[in-house]
Amino acid sequence: MADADLDVVIRQLARQLHTGLLTRAKERRDRFNGLAAKAKGKETGDRFKMMAKATMEQATAAAKRLQMSADNVADSYARSMRIAASTPIAAKVEKKAKEKPEKKAAKAKKAKAKKAK
């Protein structure tokens, strides 16, 4: 996995999360359907059935959003890596000669301020 591209890893992780999310949602749906079967009143049973249906709808929507986001991130990463690989290397910027004296001047000011105290 160390040699794998990160976009592939992102997609694999999203797939694992997607299946886990749907598995948990199905477990909860089955639980609500079981409670609906055990319910003594018709209204209570209908409410549990409605909760089971809503659970699956919400979980499916969340799983779709998760998958879409992961695909967008993976595509964006792959695109940026292709662009970075095709971009020519820029020439190194020359270091400023004034950079070092400015640092020395700042250190000297700090030293004078310490002595003044």
Predicted pLDDT of residue 85: 84
Q: Is the pLDDT of residue 95 over 70?
A: no
List pLDDT tens digits, range 1-56. 445 688 889 999 999 999 999 999 999 999 999 999 999 999 999 999 999 999 99
pTM score, whole prediction: 0.64
List pLDDT tens digits, range 46-83. 999 999 999 999 999 999 999 999 999 999 998 988 88
Burial of 74 (0-12, 13-18, 19+ CB in 10 A): buried
Cβ-contact 7, 77 below 8 angstroms: yes
The whole-angstrom separation of Cα 79 and Cα 94 is 30
